Amino acid sequence: MARRSGGREARKALRSAPLSEAIKPVHPGETGGQYRPLSDADVLAIRSNIFRILEEIGFGDATAHCIETCTAVGAIMGNDGRLRMPGHVVENALDLCDRNLVLHGQDPQFDLQIQGQKVHFSTAGAAVMIADYESNAYRDSTAQDLYDMARIVDQCEHIHMYQRTCVLRDVADNYEMDLNTLYGAISGTAKHVGCSWTHYTHLEKSLELLHAVAGSDAAWRARPFVSQSNCFVVPPMKFTEDALECLRVAVEGGMPVLLLSAGQAGATTPACLAGAVSQAWAECLGGLVYLNAIKAGAPAILGTWPFVSDLRTGAMSGGSPEQGLLSAACAQIGNDLNLPFGTACGMTDAKFPDYQAGAERAYTLSAAALAGANIIYESAGMYASLLGTSPESFLMDNDVLGATLRMTRGIEVNDETLSFENIRSVCIGGEGHYLGSDQTLSVMQSEYIYPELSDRDSPNVWEENGKPLILEKAIKRRNEILKNHFPKHISDEIDKKVRAEFPIFLSPEAMGRR
Amino acid sequence: MAENQEVEVDDEDIDLSALPDDELVEQMHDDLYDGLREEIVEGTNILLERGWSPEKVLADALVEGMRIVGIDFRDGILFVPEVLLSANAMKGGMGILRPLLVETGAKPVGKMIIGTVKGDIHDIGKNLVSMMMEGAGFEVVDLGINNPVENYLEAIEEHRPDIVGMSALLTTTMPYMKVVIDTMKEQGIRDNYIVLVGGAPLNEEFGEAIGADAYCRDAAMAVETARKLVDAKQAADG
């Protein structure tokens, strides 16, 4: 067998390239489920409570289409105007639903298997401001910001999909805003994209744009690379008309739907966490009943996003420990129901990347990931309880997400990793340490993850390097990406075609095209 | 972009003895980099057979190769286990050269005694320095951990090193380095040796304050500093 590996030049090339799949210490979809905040009895009690809420309390404000479709599968419309779902109706939806969801990227290398207890990370939004560290101020977010953040996420290994991060406040018309949110996001990254729409007619036009980018309706339906984030419910237990119409159009158009229940404990869900988990799941299962009544097996992510109120003010607290705990408990229920599940964790109440931001992001993320949430939305870049987002933060958060995935992966125990022979050979007649052992050499990259931006230098080296702050390194990297990285998975030809048919806000030049 | 996979280059065709001198030396630099002990031993023997002096083999092929390894270790390209593999290959070549260098009376690269000071049982950093120094061609006598001043004095007497290296990880044990240096001063032998100190809580100011010749912040720096100071000492000694 060849022993030589090409010397210095080969090793330098190796170290500057991404790790091969076989060596990478973490992969998208590491298996969680180790953290179980609820006992088995707790899970049973909550599950029974969820079914009882659906059967006895039901939903207000169902649309005519929703009432017609759901009653056709056994839901009951009461004289009090509430749509109730008996247990067998919910069980039936659970039997019909798609449990092996694939979220496609425009590039198949970014396809995500949303199933079992596999864990992935996504951005989400929608921030209305940019936390601009360099000017120490918050400013309105723009179409350029959304596109730029997509390009940054495209370069972050541990952010597996890009759900729109901010509102385009420089695009006044809602139709144009929805359309440009979509086009900015899918132009900036070849990863799976999540967007939301304010009106179903906007979605209908957006589907035409997606067909143009995919090549045809059939090509889009074969690999739908955009999902719809849909707040179909306004907690507590009320449907909302515009979102239900968007949901219907998405299902009919072959677009996966994130069935999103975004209650806030203490305000729109009960202050007791067990009640908040129960209501969030009841709401999501109600959405699942409707979705499967429209089309059995339509792709969906069950999105309980159980936010938290700071009861001193009533304001939302995204960085609270209860946020992590609620998300973990919801993930445990999602695992118990074996449904593709997403939650929201990793945001912070801090205004800029500081101690509070890092700590809140890390402890909430760990809880949700270790509990086995399939997609953790809002896992990067979000500040001020989702009011602000920070482009450079994604680069720092990428390290946190990689570390969280490493913890999720856990420890493999087998004869080789137990290392008895290695311990014996080092201790008896060996060097007395493991630094140079074959095993250390063979696992130095696969067993350990190394941060890209976090600083592990000694104080002396740190001083010699000019005492760099992680934020300064992130801003430098951000500037490099924004200057040089203009993804071209959408060709100039298709871009021209899209621009001829739709009101695209950003100029070709702003998107790196001539 | 190329993926980072274990690259295996077909080396069946590389016959070291068929390479001209300059290409052979370059190949040896790569072989040192890849930590290939057998190949380094073979290359060393070939150069000697071609009439190269042991000093020239050492300087051009081995020390230069390890200098490159040191640079890439410092720059975070090479990991510790890889550097140790390189150092091990270097030792293979040194095993052949050392007796020849003694025979010819050539200037050795240098000799070092090194130990963790009294009260301190930490030795990862000290071991790393020790191995990197050996990898750079130095002869290293490792005194281990928890060394009272007597151990250093006995080793100095016995081995006549160029360098005395001391390591400490604890703030409570680092002052003991000064005890060793002060004792060397009392005995009038301090200036005969280069004293290098290192350890996580130390810094340059501390090294200076206790009268060491240099503080070395890591193993790569220790090698660089040792080389520089030994060259200067040898030049001064004529």
CA angle A365, A371, A376 (to 5 degrees): 45
Would an 8 Å CB–CB cutoff place A456 in contact with chain B? Answer: no
In angstroms, the CA A204 to CA A211 distance is 11
A362 closest CA partner among A314, A323, A409, A310: A323
Q: Which chain A residues are within 8 Å of B221, Cβ to Cβ?
A: none
pLDDT (tens digit per residue) in A187-236: 999 999 999 999 999 999 999 999 999 999 999 999 999 999 999 999 99
Smallest Cα distance from A414 to chain B, Å? 23
Q: Which residue in this structure is represented by tokens 């004529």?
A: B238
Verify whether the Cβ–Cβ distance B9 to A1 is below 8 Å. no
Position A495 in a domain: no
Average pLDDT over residues A59-68: 96
Find out whether A388 and A127 touch, Cβ atoms under 8 Å. yes
Would an 8 Å CB–CB cutoff place A436 in contact with chain B? Answer: yes
pLDDT (tens digit per residue) in B124-153: 888 889 988 988 889 999 999 999 999 999
pLDDT of the residue at B65: 94
User: What residues does A342 pair with on adjacent strands?
Assistant: A303, A375
pLDDT of the residue at B1: 37
Is the CA virtual torsion B75, B78, B84, B88 positive or negative? negative
What is the interface pTM, i.e. ipTM, of the complex? 0.81
In angstroms, the CA A370 to CA A178 distance is 34
Verify whether the Cβ–Cβ distance A435 to B11 is below 8 Å. no
Would an 8 Å CB–CB cutoff place A455 in contact with chain B? Answer: no
Position A478 in a domain: no
pLDDT of the residue at B10: 52
Position A360 in a domain: yes
Rounded mean pLDDT of chain A? Answer: 96
pLDDT (tens digit per residue) in B11-58: 556 899 999 999 999 999 999 999 999 999 999 999 999 999 999 999
Look at chain A and report how many structural domains it folds into. Answer: 1
- Chain A window 15-74: which residues touch B at a Cβ cutoff of 8 Å? 15, 17-23
Average pLDDT over residues A293-316: 95
pLDDT (tens digit per residue) in A242-277: 999 999 999 999 999 999 999 999 999 999 999 999
Would an 8 Å CB–CB cutoff place B162 in contact with chain A? Answer: no
SS (H, E, C) A396-449: HHHHHHHHHHHHHHCCCCCHHHHCHHHHHHHHCCCCCCCCCCHHHHHHCCCCCC
Position A485 in a domain: no
pLDDT (tens digit per residue) in A322-356: 999 999 999 999 999 999 999 999 999 999 999 99
Token pair listed for A171 = 């695009």
The band of B201, judged by pLDDT with boundaries at 50, 70 and 90, is: confident
pTM tops 0.80: yes
Verify whether the Cβ–Cβ distance A436 to B81 is below 8 Å. yes
Position A415 in a domain: no
Verify whether the Cβ–Cβ distance A7 to B31 is below 8 Å. yes
Neighbours of A412 (CB within 10 A): 9
Verify whether the Cβ–Cβ distance B14 to A435 is below 8 Å. no
How many residues in chain B? 238
Q: Which chain B residues are within 8 Å of A8, Cβ to Cβ?
A: 29-30, 33, 68, 72
Q: Which of A1, A3, A4 to mutate to test the interface with B (most CBs of B within 10 A)?
A: A4
B84 to chain A: closest CA residue: A436
Percent of chain A with pLDDT over 90: 94
pLDDT (tens digit per residue) in A462-471: 998 999 999 9
Position A223 in a domain: yes
Position A432 in a domain: no
CATH number for position A215: 3.20.20.480
**Does residue A18 come out as left (phi exceeding 0), alpha (psi in the -120 to 50 range) or beta?**
beta
Name the residue type at position A361. R
CA angle A104, A105, A110 (to 5 degrees): 100
Residue A327 is part of which domain span? 94-409
Would an 8 Å CB–CB cutoff place B72 in contact with chain A? Answer: yes
How many residues in chain A? 514
- Chain B window 24-53: which residues touch A at a Cβ cutoff of 8 Å? 27, 29-31, 33-34, 36, 39
Find out whether A448 and B80 touch, Cβ atoms under 8 Å. no
Verify whether the Cβ–Cβ distance A14 to B30 is below 8 Å. no
Would an 8 Å CB–CB cutoff place A465 in contact with chain B? Answer: no
SS (H, E, C) A462-499: HHHCCCCCHHHHHHHHHHHHHHHCCCCCCCHHHHHHHH
Say if residue A161's pLDDT is above 90. Answer: yes
Verify whether the Cβ–Cβ distance A436 to B200 is below 8 Å. no
Verify whether the Cβ–Cβ distance B4 to A14 is below 8 Å. yes
Position A59 in a domain: no
Say if residue A83's pLDDT is above 70. Answer: yes
Token pair listed for A498 = 């899209």
Find out whether B166 and B142 touch, Cβ atoms under 8 Å. no
Q: Which of B72, B79, B90, B208 to mutate to test the interface with A (most CBs of A within 10 A)?
A: B79
Give A463: exposed, middle or buried? Use CB within 10 Å, 0-12, 13-18, 19+: exposed
Q: Which chain A residues are within 8 Å of B14, Cβ to Cβ?
A: 4
A432 closest CA partner among B92, B118, B123, B155: B123
Find out whether B75 and B118 touch, Cβ atoms under 8 Å. no
Q: Which chain A residues are within 8 Å of B9, Cβ to Cβ?
A: 2, 4-6, 10
In angstroms, the CA A434 to CA A327 distance is 40
pLDDT of the residue at B12: 59
3-state secondary structure of B92: helix
pLDDT (tens digit per residue) in B105-129: 777 789 999 999 998 888 888 888 9
Verify whether the Cβ–Cβ distance A8 to B72 is below 8 Å. yes
pLDDT of the residue at A269: 97
